[in-house]
Amino acid sequence: MNNIKTSFSIKDLENLTSIKAHTIRIWEKRYNLLHPNRSDSNIRNYSIESLQKLLNVSFLNRHGYKISKIAKLQSEDIPKLVREIASKGEQKHHALNAFKMAMLNFDQTLFFNTYNNLLQESSFKDIFYDVFIPLLNEIGILWQTNTITPAHEHFISTLIKQKILVNIEKVQNLQQHTKDNVFVLFLPLNEIHDIGLLYINYELVCSGYHSIFLGQSVPINSLIDISNQYTNITFGTYFTIKPEVDDIIDYLKNFKDTILHNTHHKLFVLGKKTKDINPKLLPKEITIYTSIKELIKTV
């Protein structure tokens, strides 16, 4: 239990629930909604039960319930009402909160139960686009604002990757390559954020392509052998934290000279660092995509 975060600042609550700290204070004062502890210097801190309650209150408020009405509910009736609404087709937003609670508590059972409930009404692809991508975007912000630790991020990311891998294996067991195109997916040296690329691998396998997933931190020179083995490869990579902004153009030039020169190979790049790339500086063999959906539409 020592690894579980049990105390939250009002800024943590704002980051986790998207409810402004000012609003939280008003709800406390006017509706007696939460009961924070206070430090000797009168600074609020909140229990994990308060966070859970506020996530549920936020869910109800987004679905048309006035805060004055919510405040009159018994504490035990709030999660019941949330589950009732979620069961009527609002499961995905409820799941987003449940996944965040699973992350904060390192609760694998809650993660799996929430995922399995989603599967009853949604495909894996829908879950990835509608729940996992928004969740990962929120996690990035929570990490940057020190609301969560790297351990929280790694915990939830590993569970999401497990689900992608399981679904890749299911498809691989059901079908063989039906198309001649070869894709080689890799991350640059010292880049470890592979969820997006792993999901692209899943989409390519589903579409019948021969997709070779090499994973994290792959030096350019180590791609030479595989480049020589096939005559027409579409390489794919993701820039999340690497290369550094000032090194991106040099990296792409090195890749072109080392791997693409005098071949029919191509490269596509995704990731938040692509916003720093000027497409006019790129050779025709290299394409930037702003999202996974945009890429998948073209393959």
| Structure confidence by residue, pLDDT tens digits, 121-143 | 899 999 999 999 999 988 887 87
Of 30-44, 79-93, 150-164, 267-281, minimum mean pLDDT range: 79-93
Res 55 pLDDT > 80: yes
Indicate the residue type of 105.
Answer: N
The two structure tokens encoding residue 251: 């990296």
The residues pairing with 212 across neighbouring beta strands, listed in sequence order, are: 184
Mean pLDDT over 160-171 rounds to: 95
Give the SS3 label for residue 213.
strand
Q: What single DSSP character describes residue 299?
A: -
Average pLDDT value for residue range 197-224:
94
The answer, yes or no, to whether residue 3 has pLDDT greater than 70, is no
Backbone angles phi, psi at 112, to 5 degrees: -65, -40
Tokens representing 224 are: 């030479």
Of the candidates 295, 189, 276, the residue with the CA atom closest to the CA atom of residue 287 = 295
pLDDT of residue 155: 94
Provide the pLDDT for residue 64.
84
Amino acid at the residue 190? N
pLDDT of 277 reads: 81
Which pLDDT belongs to residue 53?
86
Q: Residue 11 burial (CB < 10 Å; 0-12/13-18/19+)? A: middle
Query: Does pLDDT of 146 surpass 70?
Result: yes
pLDDT surpassing 90 at residue 172: no
Q: The whole model's pTM is what?
A: 0.79
- When pLDDT is averaged across residues 258-264 and rounded to a whole number, the result is 93
Q: Can you give the pLDDT at residue 86?
A: 63
* Structural element, H or E, at residue 238: strand 233-238
Question: For the chain, what percent of residues have pLDDT higher than 90?
Answer: 44
Taking the CB of residue 174, how many other CB atoms lie within 10 A of it? 9
Split at pLDDT 50, 70, 90, the class of 180 is: confident
Q: Are the CB atoms for 267 and 177 separated by under 8 Å?
A: no
The chain-wide mean pLDDT, for the chain, equals 87
- The yes-or-no verdict on residue 70 having pLDDT over 60 is yes
User: Is the pLDDT reported for residue 267 higher than 50?
Assistant: yes
Q: Is the pLDDT of residue 96 over 80?
A: yes
Task: Indicate the pairing of strand 37-38 with strand 44-47.
Answer: antiparallel
Which domains are present in the chain? 7-165 (1.10.1660.10), 175-298 (3.40.50.280)
Q: Write the CA distances from 193 to 28, 133, 167, 199, integer angstroms.
A: 39, 13, 19, 12
Nearest to 289 by CA among 261, 201, 298, 194: 298
pLDDT digits (tens, 9 = 90+) for 229-255: 999 999 999 998 888 888 898 999 999
pLDDT at 133: 92
Q: Compare 90 and 160 and report the one with higher pLDDT.
A: 160
266 forms beta bridges with 234
Across the beta sheet with 210-215, the strand order is 210-215, 182-186, 233-238, 266-270, 286-288
Backbone torsions φ then ψ of 163, nearest 5 degrees: -70, -40
Q: Higher pLDDT residue, 238 or 40?
A: 238
Q: Among the residues of the chain, which ranges form H helices?
A: 10-17, 21-31, 48-62, 67-71, 77-85, 91-105, 108-119, 124-127, 133-144, 150-174, 195-206, 224-229, 248-255, 292-298
Give percent of the chain above pLDDT 70. 94
